[in-house]
Amino acid sequence: MLKQKNMLRVLYALSPIALTGVYFFGWRVAALLAVSTVCGFGTEWYMQSLKKGKVSYAVFVTAVLYALSLPPITPFWIAAAGIIVAVLFGKEVFGGFGKNVFNPAIVGRAFVYVSFPIELTGRFVPVFTGFPGGFGRWSFSSLETLPAAMTQAGLQLTDAVTAATPMWSRRDFRYAADWLQLLLGNIGGVFSSGPSTKVLAAGSIGEVSAVAIVAAAIYLIATKTAQWRLTVATLVGAAGITLLLRHGLGIDAMPPLHFTLLSGALLYGAAFMVTDPVSAPKLPLSQWIYGMFIGLMVVFFRYRSIFAGGLGFSILLGNMLAPSLDLWIKRYRAAKEGKAPA
């Protein structure tokens, strides 16, 4: 086993987010994490055994990041397929840890997102609240788990399972979730859309509570596990394009700044995925450009594409750009100093 202290610190930072996920969605989250971890470890162990290499702690980070990026009641077989693709095609085909071009967790998430769109978009549910919350439940999977407000509105389980997340509800039904719900993570309830009543569902497991993510990001930055420029640049890029489109160009379809920052997986990605030290650029200026590019693309995808999120595709585009950014800046500086580039 290849021990990596930085990877252990990332796992420490992910622990409270995983516990928060269990509280909001039930113990099925823990089972989803277990499936992802076992399949991810098994894939890397097999590939490394072929070349007599060692399994790295990074595979556990990949498995947890990937699992927490999924809807809470994702079928286990889809979770297993995604993490196998993540480790095999996002990491091992490039030579293993430290040689991958793309963030493996995002590769797996993008794979299941485009391969099983119907299965995944129908797996978003409201959160459990109060005590003991999801700690006293397996999953949001039976009629008795429906909140009273939903059953009183005459909604069935299928309505809850296919409910709209905050981003979908705002984009498709012009309903904006309360900012405090987005901040704390207690997302649920019902809202009216024309003659029908809809269920407000939370997003993926790891993205729900902004408070938990910010606390984890502070820990990662304080321990120098994550590069703060990458996180800040991503948020600055997203905030900048949001303000430009909404207030500069007067596009009302663009959500308010607080909604852009708190909804979806932007914070989760900025804290844990954009900061991946392998796939991110190394020069400070490159990191600013890289992060701002990803933040800008997230908002663009949300605004113009059929995808309500777009974080995964934005990071993959950023991963493609990262090596060239470092190269271009080195060449520019060499030319400016009158030196021939290496």
Residue 32 maps to a domain: yes
User: Is residue 115 located within the same domain as residue 167?
Assistant: no
User: Is residue 243 located within the same domain as residue 201?
Assistant: no
Residue 23 maps to a domain: yes
What is the count of structural domains for the chain?
Answer: 3
311, 312, 314, 317 alpha-carbon torsion, rounded to 10°: 170
Place of tokens 């693309």: 297
Angle, helix 228-243 to helix 284-304, in steps of 10 degrees: 40
Residue 294 maps to a domain: yes
pLDDT digit string, tens, across residues 69-112? 999 989 999 999 999 999 999 998 888 777 888 999 999 999 99
User: Is residue 172 located within the same domain as residue 213?
Assistant: no
Q: What is the DSSP string of 36-89?
A: HHHHHHHHHHHHHHHTT---BTHHHHHHHHHHHTS-TT--HHHHHHHHHHHHHH
Query: Could you give the CA distance from residue 135 to residue 22 in angstroms, rounded to a whole number?
Result: 6
> Which of these three, 205, 233, 260, is where a domain ends?
205
pLDDT given for residue 221 in this prediction: 95
316 SS3 class: helix
The closest of 256, 332, 260 to 289, measured between CA atoms, is 332
Lowest mean pLDDT among 36-45, 169-178, 311-320: 169-178
Q: Give, as one character, the DSSP assignment of residue 100.
A: -
Pairing between strand 190-193 and 196-199?
A: antiparallel
11, 16, 18, 23 alpha-carbon torsion, rounded to 10°: 170
User: Is residue 214 located within the same domain as residue 289?
Assistant: yes
Query: Could you give the CA distance from residue 179 to residue 157 in angstroms, rounded to a whole number?
Result: 26
What mean pLDDT is reported for the chain?
84
Residue 128 maps to a domain: no
For residue 196, the cross-strand partners are: 193
Query: Could you give the CA distance from residue 297 to residue 307 in angstroms, rounded to a whole number?
Result: 12
Domain that includes residue 178, residue range: 141-205
For residues 331 and 200, the model is more confident at 331
User: Is residue 156 located within the same domain as residue 64?
Assistant: no
Residue 184 maps to a domain: yes
196 SS3 class: strand
Query: Could you give the CA distance from residue 274 to residue 215 in angstroms, rounded to a whole number?
Result: 17
User: Is residue 232 located within the same domain as residue 165?
Assistant: no
- Residue 273 Cα distances to 91, 231, 256, angstroms: 15, 9, 24
Query: Could you give the CA distance from residue 266 to residue 114 in angstroms, rounded to a whole number?
Result: 19
* Contact between 53 and 104 (Cβ < 8 Å): no
pLDDT given for residue 144 in this prediction: 41
> Which of these three, 154, 185, 205, is where a domain ends?
205
pLDDT band at 149 (very low <50, low <70, confident <90, very high): very low
pLDDT given for residue 341 in this prediction: 53
Residue 115 maps to a domain: yes
User: Is residue 27 located within the same domain as residue 145?
Assistant: no
> Which of these three, 121, 154, 170, is where a domain ends?
121
Query: Could you give the CA distance from residue 90 to residue 58 in angstroms, rounded to a whole number?
Result: 13
Q: Is 189 left (phi over 0), alpha (psi -120 to 50) or beta?
A: left
User: Is residue 223 located within the same domain as residue 249?
Assistant: yes
pLDDT digit string, tens, across residues 231-288? 999 999 999 999 998 888 888 778 888 888 888 789 999 999 999 988 899 999 999 9
* Contact between 341 and 334 (Cβ < 8 Å): yes
